[in-house]
C-alpha cells in the first residue's frame, strides 16, 4: 500500500504543475494581446466622435497610409459644428424677418405718412414703404438667403425704379461672413395705394446702389489716365500680424513645425497635417508658427508639376484663422527670434523634437519658449500628422472650425449662385483619370456619357431648369447635348470673375507682391464644389449616375 502511494504521488504533483503552467501561459498570452491592442488602437478625434458622420465627411483614415483623392474637404463654413464659433460682436446683425418687417410697418404708420394714390404717382425711393416692400418681396422670393441689413434705396434709371443694396449670407453656409448684392426694382401701385414690386432685376443690376469707388484714378508716366481698379471686399483683413517688441516675443510660447514630407502632397493631406499641428498648439496652449507658403501638388496644375510659392491666403481665410486661433507667420517669427538672440548671452530656450514619437502629452509641462518639431526622417516617418496618431488622438482635436475657404473664392461662389438667382440644380460629373481606368471603374465612362446623363437627369431634374455642372471633364462642349433640355452652366462660363479685370484678380495680385495669380486647379474644384452645395437638387456621380464605387471596385 505504501509502495502504491509513493508511486502515484509524483503523477498528481506533475498534473497540478502542468495545469498551473498552462493557466499562467494563458494569462500571459492574454495580457500580451491586450497590450498590443492598446498600443496599436487609434481612436478618432474626440471632436468627431460627437458627430460620427463628420468623420467620414472629412477623411476616411488617419494613419500613415493617408488616402488622398481629388475631392475637396468640407471646411468649417460648410458643416454644423457641435459648438459653433462665436460671432464677433461687431458682426452680429439680426436677420430681417417677417416680425422685423411688421415692426417697421408699425413705425411707418406712426409717422402719419400720406397714402393718397396721387402722392405715389412717382416713386420716392427714400420713402420707408419702398424698403419694406423690397424686404417682403425678397423674403418671399429667396428662401435660401438670410438678409442681414439693407441700405436706403436710391433712384434707378426711371421714375418708377429704385436701386437697393443689402448684405446677406446663404443658409447653407454656417459661417457669419456677409456678402453683398444690389438690384433694380420697378414699382407699381397696389390696393390701398401701397407699393408693389412689378419687376425685380437680376444679380447686381442696381448699379446706382453699389459701393462708390474710394480709390482715386491715377495718371501713368505716358500721361494717359488709368482707371482705378474695382473696389475690393473691405471686410477681408488677412494682413500678417507682427510680434511687436523683442520683449513680446520673449514672453510668448511657440510651437514650430519645420517643413516635412507633407510639402507638395495633395491639399487634403496638407490640411490633415496642418490641423494636427494647430490642434497640438491649442492643446499645449502655445502660438502655432505657420508657413504661409504652400506647395500645390501637380494634380491641380495643368503643367502636371508641383508649384511652390502659393500663398495660404489664396485658398483659406487667414482673417478667420487669426480670430479663433493663436498663430504667427513663420518669417515674422524667425525675425523676432533672430532679434532676441542677437548680441545676448542668454538665448531663447528651445526644445528640439526630432521624432513624432515624442507625444504632445510628454511636452505638456515643457517650459521652453520654443518647441521645435523637426521631420527629417524618410517617408512616411516625416509626415507631421503622425504626431496626432496613437494615444495622442485622444487628446488632440483638429480644429476644423478654424478653417474656412478664402472669402475671395467664396465671393466667386456667391457671384455664380447669384447670377442664377439662387434657383438652380447641379450635377457632379466625375470623369478624368477615373473614367479612363476601366479596371477600377468599368462603367463610369459609359454612365457619364452625354446620352446616359440626359436619360438619368430627365428623371431627377425638371426640364429648362438652370443646371450647373461641376466636373473635371476638360472638354467644354462635352455636355452640349444637355442644352436641349436644360440651361446648362459650367465654371468656364464665368471666366470674367477671375479675369485680369476682376476684383479677385486685383486683390490676389496685390497679395502676391504685384505678380498675377493663376486661377489654378484647386481653386476651380473648390468653387465648383461650393456652388454644388448650394443647389436645390444635387445629383452625385457615385450615388445617382453609376453603380461603380467611388474608390474603385469592391470599395462601396
The DSSP line for 278-323 is HHHHHHHT-EEEE--EEEEPGGG-TT-S-EEEEEHHHHB-HHHHHH
- Distance between start and end Cα atoms, the chain: 75
Helix axes 407-419, 503-511, angle to 10 degrees: 170
Torsion-angle region of 263 (φ positive above 0: left; ψ -120 to 50: alpha; else: beta): beta
Q: Is the pLDDT of residue 473 over 50?
A: yes
Task: Write out the three cell numbers for 479.
Answer: 455636355
Confidence (pLDDT) at 234: 78
Q: Is the pLDDT of residue 59 over 80?
A: no
Cα 360 to Cα 281: distance, rounded to the nearest angstrom: 9
442 CB neighbour count, 10 Å cutoff: 15
Confidence (pLDDT) at 5: 47
CB 98 within 8 A of CB 82: no
Confidence (pLDDT) at 402: 93
Q: Is the pLDDT of residue 359 over 90?
A: yes
Q: Is the pLDDT of residue 23 over 80?
A: no
259 φ, ψ (degrees, to nearest 5): -65, 130
Confidence (pLDDT) at 237: 86
Cα 369 to Cα 366: distance, rounded to the nearest angstrom: 9
Confidence (pLDDT) at 2: 47
- Of 229 and 51, the one with more pLDDT: 229
**Running DSSP on this structure, what letter comes out for residue 456?**
H
CB 453 within 8 A of CB 427: yes
- Between the alpha carbon of residue 440 and those of residues 56, 332, 413, 539, 543, the distances in Å are 21, 47, 33, 22, 16
Reported confidence tier of residue 13, pLDDT bands at 50, 70, 90: low
Confidence (pLDDT) at 213: 54
Cα 390 to Cα 397: distance, rounded to the nearest angstrom: 13
Q: Is the pLDDT of residue 456 over 80?
A: yes
| Candidate ranges 185-199, 226-240, 466-480; pick with highest mean pLDDT | 466-480
Which SS3 state, helix, strand or coil, does residue 186 take? Answer: strand
Mean pLDDT of 181-210: 91
- Of 136 and 245, the one with more pLDDT: 136
Give residue-wise pLDDT tens across range 166-186.
999 998 888 888 999 999 999
Strand (E) or helix (H) holding 412: helix 407-419
Q: Is the pLDDT of residue 407 over 60?
A: yes
- Between the alpha carbon of residue 41 and those of residues 56, 62, 391, the distances in Å are 18, 12, 8
- Return the minimum-mean-pLDDT range out of 11-15, 365-369, 388-392: 11-15
233 CB neighbour count, 10 Å cutoff: 18
Confidence (pLDDT) at 189: 84
**Running DSSP on this structure, what letter comes out for residue 405?**
B
- Of 217 and 422, the one with more pLDDT: 422
- Return the minimum-mean-pLDDT range out of 7-16, 169-178, 493-502, 524-533: 7-16
Mean pLDDT of 5-14: 58
Q: Is the pLDDT of residue 62 over 70?
A: no
- Return the minimum-mean-pLDDT range out of 105-119, 234-248, 540-554: 105-119
Mean pLDDT of 275-303: 94
β pairing state of 254-257 and 287-290: parallel
Which SS3 state, helix, strand or coil, does residue 455 take? Answer: helix
Reported confidence tier of residue 344, pLDDT bands at 50, 70, 90: confident
Give residue-wise pLDDT tens across range 118-130.
666 678 899 999 9
Confidence (pLDDT) at 86: 55
Q: Is the pLDDT of residue 306 over 80?
A: yes
Give residue-wise pLDDT tens across range 428-454.
999 988 999 999 999 999 999 999 999
- pTM metric for this prediction: 0.82
Which SS3 state, helix, strand or coil, does residue 416 take? Answer: helix
Give residue-wise pLDDT tens across range 376-386.
998 889 999 99
- Of 176 and 496, the one with more pLDDT: 496
- Between the alpha carbon of residue 230 and those of residues 242, 280, 374, 448, the distances in Å are 28, 41, 44, 40
Confidence (pLDDT) at 372: 97
Give residue-wise pLDDT tens across range 526-541.
999 999 999 999 999 9
Reported confidence tier of residue 12, pLDDT bands at 50, 70, 90: low
Q: Is the pLDDT of residue 210 over 50?
A: yes
Confidence (pLDDT) at 140: 94
The owner of cell 526644445 is 351
- 3-state SS, 430-449, equals CCHHHHHCCCCCCCHHHHCC
Q: Is the pLDDT of residue 54 over 70?
A: no
Q: Strands, E, within 403-506: which ranges?
A: 425-429, 466-471, 487-490
- Of 18 and 510, the one with more pLDDT: 510
State whether the Cα torsion 289-243-178-510 is positive or negative. Answer: negative
Reported confidence tier of residue 241, pLDDT bands at 50, 70, 90: confident
- Of 505 and 120, the one with more pLDDT: 505
CB 210 within 8 A of CB 204: yes
Confidence (pLDDT) at 373: 96
Which SS3 state, helix, strand or coil, does residue 393 take? Answer: helix
Say which residues have a Cβ less than 8 Å from residue 522's Cβ, sequence separation at least 6. 72, 267, 296, 300, 315
Mean pLDDT of 412-427: 96
Cα 401 to Cα 403: distance, rounded to the nearest angstrom: 6
Q: In this prediction, what percent of the chain has a pLDDT beyond 90?
A: 60
Helix axes 128-141, 98-110, angle to 10 degrees: 160
- Between the alpha carbon of residue 228 and those of residues 158, 231, 402, 415, the distances in Å are 28, 8, 34, 22
Mean pLDDT of 6-26: 67
Strand partners, 167: 149, 180
Among 158, 152, 160, CA closest to 182: 152
Instruction: Tell me whether the omega of the peptide bond preceding residue 380 falls within 30 degrees of 0, making it cis.
Output: yes
Helix, strand, coil shares of the chain, percent, nearest 5, are 45, 15, 40
Q: Is the pLDDT of residue 41 over 60?
A: no
Reported confidence tier of residue 227, pLDDT bands at 50, 70, 90: very low
Cα 530 to Cα 98: distance, rounded to the nearest angstrom: 29
Side-chain half-sphere CA neighbours of 126 within 13 A: 0
**Running DSSP on this structure, what letter comes out for residue 546?**
-
Q: Is the pLDDT of residue 218 over 70?
A: no
As a whole number of Å, the CA-based R_g of the chain is 31
Among 474, 314, 473, 489, CA closest to 415: 489
Q: In this prediction, what percent of the chain has a pLDDT beyond 70?
A: 80
Amino acid at each position: 500500500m505504501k509502495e502504491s502511494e509513493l508511486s502515484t504521488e509524483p503523477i498528481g504533483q506533475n498534473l497540478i504543475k502542468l495545469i498551473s503552467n498552462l493557466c499562467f501561459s494563458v494569462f500571459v498570452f492574454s495580457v500580451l494581446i491586450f497590450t498590443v491592442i492598446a498600443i496599436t488602437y487609434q481612436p478618432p478625434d474626440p471632436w468627431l466622435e460627437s458627430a460620427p458622420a463628420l468623420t467620414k465627411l472629412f477623411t476616411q483614415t488617419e494613419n500613415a497610409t493617408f488616402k488622398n483623392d481629388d475631392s475637396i474637404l468640407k471646411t468649417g463654413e460648410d458643416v454644423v459644428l457641435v459648438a459653433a464659433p462665436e460671432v464677433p460682436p461687431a458682426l452680429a446683425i439680426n436677420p430681417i424677418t417677417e416680425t422685423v418687417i411688421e415692426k417697421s410697418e408699425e413705425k411707418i404708420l406712426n409717422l402719419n405718412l400720406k397714402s393718397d394714390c396721387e402722392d405715389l404717382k412717382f416713386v420716392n425711393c427714400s420713402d420707408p414703404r419702398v424698403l419694406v416692400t423690397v424686404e417682403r418681396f425678397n423674403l418671399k422670393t429667396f428662401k435660401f438667403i438670410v438678409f442681414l441689413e439693407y441700405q436706403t434705396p436710391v433712384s434707378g434709371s426711371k421714375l418708377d425704379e429704385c436701386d437697393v443694396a443689402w448684405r446677406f449670407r446663404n443658409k447653407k453656409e454656417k459661417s457669419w461672413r456677409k456678402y453683398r448684392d444690389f438690384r433694380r426694382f420697378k414699382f407699381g401701385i397696389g390696393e390701398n395705394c401701397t407699393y408693389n414690386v412689378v419687376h425685380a432685376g437680376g444679380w447686381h443690376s442696381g448699379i446706382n446702389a453699389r459701393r462708390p469707388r474710394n480709390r482715386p484714378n491715377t495718371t501713368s508716366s505716358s500721361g494717359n489716365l488709368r482707371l482705378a481698379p474695382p473696389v475690393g471686399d473691405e471686410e477681408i483683413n488677412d494682413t500678417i500680424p507682427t510680434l511687436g517688441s523683442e520683449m513680446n516675443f520673449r514672453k510668448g510660447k511657440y510651437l514650430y513645425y519645420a517643413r516635412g514630407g507633407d510639402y507638395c502632397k495633395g491639399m487634403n493631406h496638407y490640411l490633415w497635417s496642418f490641423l494636427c499641428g494647430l490642434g497640438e498648439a491649442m492643446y499645449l496652449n502655445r502660438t502655432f508658427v505657420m508657413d504661409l507658403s504652400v506647395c500645390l501638388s501637380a494634380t491641380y496644375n495643368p503643367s502636371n508639376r508641383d508649384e511652390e510659392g502659393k500663398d495660404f491666403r489664396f485658398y483659406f481665410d487667414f482673417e478667420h484663422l487669426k480670430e479663433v486661433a493663436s498663430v504667427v507667420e513663420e518669417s515674422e517669427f524667425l525675425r523676432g527670434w533672430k532679434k532676441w538672440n542677437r548680441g545676448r548671452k542668454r538665448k531663447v530656450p528651445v526644445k528640439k523634437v526630432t521624432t513624432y514619437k515624442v507625444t504632445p502629452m510628454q511636452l505638456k509641462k515643457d517650459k521652453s519658449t520654443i518647441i521645435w518639431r523637426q521631420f527629417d526622417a524618410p517617408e512616411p516617418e516625416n509626415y507631421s500628422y503622425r504626431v496626432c496618431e496613437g494615444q495622442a488622438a485622444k487628446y488632440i482635436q483638429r480644429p476644423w472650425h478654424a478653417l474656412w475657404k478664402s472669402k475671395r473664392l467664396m465671393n466667386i461662389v456667391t457671384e455664380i449662385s447669384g447670377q442664377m438667382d439662387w434657383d438652380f440644380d447641379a450635377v457632379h460629373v466625375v470623369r478624368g483619370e477615373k473614367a479612363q481606368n476601366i479596371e477600377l471603374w468599368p462603367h463610369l465612362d459609359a454612365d457619364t456619357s452625354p446620352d446616359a446623363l440626359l436619360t438619368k437627369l430627365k428623371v431627377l431634374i425638371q426640364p429648362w431648369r438652370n443646371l450647373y455642372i461641376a466636373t473635371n471633364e476638360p472638354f467644354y462642349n462635352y455636355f452640349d447635348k444637355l442644352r436641349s433640355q436644360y440651361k446648362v452652366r459650367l465654371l468656364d462660363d464665368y471666366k470674367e470673375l477671375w479675369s485680369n479685370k476682376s476684383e479677385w484678380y486685383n486683390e490676389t495680385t496685390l497679395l502676391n507682391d504685384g505678380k498675377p495669380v493663376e486661377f489654378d486647379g484647386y481653386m476651380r474644384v473648390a468653387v465648383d464644389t461650393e456652388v454644388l452645395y448650394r443647389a436645390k437638387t444635387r445629383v452625385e456621380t457615385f450615388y445617382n449616375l453609376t453603380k461603380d464605387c467611388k474608390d474603385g471596385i469592391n470599395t462601396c
